[in-house]
Amino acid sequence: MRKFIFLLAVLLPFSASAKLLDLTVFRLDNGLEVAVVENHKAPIVLQMLYYKTGSLNDPRGKGGIAHLLEHLMFRGTTEVPDRQFNQLTDEHGASNNAYTTFDVTAYFEFSDISKLELMMALEADRMAHLKISDEAFLSERDVVLQERYQRYETQPAPLFYEMLDKLLWQNHPRANPVSGNVSEIKALKREDAEDFYHKWYRPDNALLVLAGDIKPDEAKILAEKYYGKIKNPQTKSEVLEINEDPRAVDTFVKVQLEGVTQPRYASYIRLDAGELSKKDVLALNLLAEYLAGDDTSYLYDKLVYQDKKLLSIDIGLDYDEKYGGSLAFYAVPADDTLSAEEIARLLETEAGSGITHLVPEKLQKIQNQTLADTVYLQENPQSAARFVGTMLLDGYTAEQVMNYDEAITAVTLEDVVAAWQKVQAAKVRIKGYLEGKEQ
């Protein structure tokens, strides 16, 4: 499951008989899965196209190619001249964007419903007819390289977290940075992007989500018109096989980097594919909300307000059933007299104490707060589309998505404790402390 914090932000407190949203899912003959989320309160619609590929599929030595291809998708096709995609969307009052993760690359356009056909025509065109010139490739490769320098090479905190990720994931493809590294980016060639495009950008490896003022029958007609005739390339997109056997490790690293203005601590617990169920993920995210969800949470109250040991604390769960994930603790010490080892002991001790103080009434309060924070799902096609896309890509059925609020309320205290015990049994743990480099 991906970034459940987003999912928690979009769940509605419906009754058991009500549906979370109006969702219809169907599949075209060429394999393209289509999801329609109806919202007829305004004449707007979001088109979101997910390709089921990301940095996990970067060939060895060609890190960053999935991300670079995302950039190249805006540089023209055999039908639409270079840089005209953005110009056309702007001229018609639409907005667009894209992003790449370790297992997904997504593109979206938000527009008036009257412009949907144009948006679908443009998106379908670049699924089938991308044209990569040498000039476009070199230009975008340079952009991606500059992004790498600006966001990682010169930023100590992101670089620190990336270092911990590499230690955590060892030889697993999740150790690959989405951006790639500098030497890999510089070595990428136009043919690498073309090969990746023909292998992974295909109807049977994609999910199209339409959210807004559109009915399922209208959506099906338009999907068939613009996407239905696209043929899948002969090159097959194979299922990624993970053959890595992680070594058990529990280690502590201290990192000194220039530009650090505030020391910070992080602890990553590796959770491999198959170790957590969907209910475990729900339970752990409710637990994370209880322990460190905001400034009223258990750990925040204890370690920030009462003991004044930390300036901030956060917990994040990122888990995918196919590729695994991690539970992470992040903390910023109140002053540099608190050692890294002391922070680690504090968090372990107080997290355990917090769980012993979690009673059914407190869990129910967290569940109610979670549901109460989700009143905008049906009002916002963008949130609805991302929610539905994330859930479907994670293997949920349409019925499970529409009734997902029930799954939240069904989590018990016993479920939370059982999920936490699975985390405690994890054999790969990386703790890190980032501090400034002495001149």
DSSP codes of every residue in 251-311: EEEEEEETT-SS-EEEEEEEE-TTSS-HHHHHHHHHHHHHHHSSTTSHHIIIIIIIS--EE
CA distance 163 to 272: 19
Specify the pLDDT at position 67: 98
Specify the pLDDT at position 18: 60
- In the chain, the amino acid numbered 321 is E
Whether 11 shows a pLDDT value over 70: the answer reads no
Specify the pLDDT at position 375: 57
Specify the pLDDT at position 57: 95
Specify the pLDDT at position 370: 80
Give the CA count within 13 Å in the CB-facing half-sphere of 242: 18
Q: Which of 143-147, 155-159, 238-242 has the lowest mean pLDDT?
A: 238-242
Share of the chain above pLDDT 90, in %: 84
pLDDT in tens, 105-154: 999 999 999 999 999 999 999 999 999 999 999 999 999 999 999 999 99
Specify the pLDDT at position 405: 86
Specify the pLDDT at position 439: 63
Specify the pLDDT at position 244: 81
Whether 191 shows a pLDDT value over 70: the answer reads yes
Give Cβ neighbours of residue 66 (< 8 Å, ≥ 6 apart): 53, 54, 55, 57, 58, 100, 105, 178, 196
Query: In which band, very low, low, confident or very high, does the pLDDT at 354 lie, cut at 50, 70 and 90?
Result: very high
Q: Average pLDDT of 408-435?
A: 96
Whether 36 shows a pLDDT value over 70: the answer reads yes
Whether 7 shows a pLDDT value over 50: the answer reads no
Whether 34 shows a pLDDT value over 80: the answer reads yes
Backbone angles phi, psi at 270, to 5 degrees: -80, 135
Whether 173 shows a pLDDT value over 70: the answer reads yes
Whether 17 shows a pLDDT value over 50: the answer reads no
Specify the pLDDT at position 16: 42
Count CB atoms within 10 A of the CB of residue 155. Answer: 14
pLDDT in tens, 196-211: 999 999 999 999 999 9
Share of the chain above pLDDT 70, in %: 94
Task: Check if the beta carbon of residue 80 is closer than 8 Å to that of residue 125.
Answer: yes
Supply the mean pLDDT for the chain. 92
| DSSP state at residue 78 | S
Specify the pLDDT at position 226: 98
Give Cβ neighbours of residue 321 (< 8 Å, ≥ 6 apart): 1, 273, 274, 276, 278, 394, 395
Q: Which of 91-95, 186-190, 359-363, 380-384 has the lowest mean pLDDT?
A: 380-384
Which helix (H) or strand (E) element contains residue 163? helix 156-169
Specify the pLDDT at position 240: 78
Query: In which band, very low, low, confident or very high, does the pLDDT at 374 lie, cut at 50, 70 and 90?
Result: low
pLDDT in tens, 408-421: 999 999 999 999 99
Both tokens assigned to 353 = 């104490």
- In the chain, the amino acid numbered 68 is L
> Domains of the chain (ranges plus CATH)?
20-226 (3.30.830.10), 249-436 (3.30.830.10)
pLDDT in tens, 49-78: 999 999 999 999 999 999 999 999 999 999
Helix 134-148 vs helix 190-200: angle between axes, to the nearest 10 degrees? 90
Query: In which band, very low, low, confident or very high, does the pLDDT at 347 lie, cut at 50, 70 and 90?
Result: very high
CA distance 79 to 230: 15
Query: In which band, very low, low, confident or very high, does the pLDDT at 5 lie, cut at 50, 70 and 90?
Result: very low
Q: Average pLDDT of 88-92?
A: 97
